[in-house]
Amino acid sequence: MPDLTLPELIRGTRSVGEPSAPGSDHERVMRPLLAAWRAAQEARPLEAQVEVVDPALLEQAWRVLIAEFATERHPRSVLDQRALTDELTLQGDLVWAALAELRVATGWARVAAQETAAVAADARAQWIAALHALFVAVDRWWGAIVPVLAEDTGRRGAFWRRVLQRSA
């Protein structure tokens, strides 16, 4: 498999490549994706690129982050933590779907590496498209969760009641 560079995946997103303060919510949300992308840019050949962008590790990192956000914002209220976790997870539906697609594309890229050059090239194109779809999904997720993360936590219980009313 030839050494191929990844195309620019940040272009076309509004928030993924934006600079952010270390430790900020934005930086924490983007960190797993950008770290995987940087590692993939440095890796050669395609097989190595595919291996460093692990959809399972990305999902785990974001699910842990969601739990951290909930605990940080509502340290004394399990109900509020649960509501915030549910809201951030629900808002991430596009991300979870894009990760599922990336898993499929990753599996195909691994198998196709042993096939003809045309099959391998098609698998690479599918994997890059799935990776780009993940970038777009994370970009949209960030836009959707900013207001949720900015919610005033001083109003005890108001946040989770609002969330429950939305889902009813």
Q: What is the mean pLDDT of each run of 10 residues along the chain (168 residues)?
A: 55 71 90 90 79 94 97 93 95 97 93 84 90 93 92 53 51
Check residue 1 and give its pLDDT. Answer: 42
pLDDT in the model for residue 42: 86
**Residue 54, pLDDT score:** 94
User: What is the full DSSP assignment across 131-166?
Assistant: HHHHHHHHHHHHHHHHHHHTS-TTSTTHHHHHHHHH
Using one digit for the tens of pLDDT, what is the confidence trace for 19-46?
777 889 999 999 999 999 889 888 877 6
* The pLDDT value given to residue 3: 45
How far apart, in whole angstroms, are the C-alpha atoms of residue 167 and residue 160?
A: 11
| Whole-prediction pTM | 0.81
Residue ranges per domain, the chain?
A: 25-167
Residue 5 has what pLDDT?
A: 58
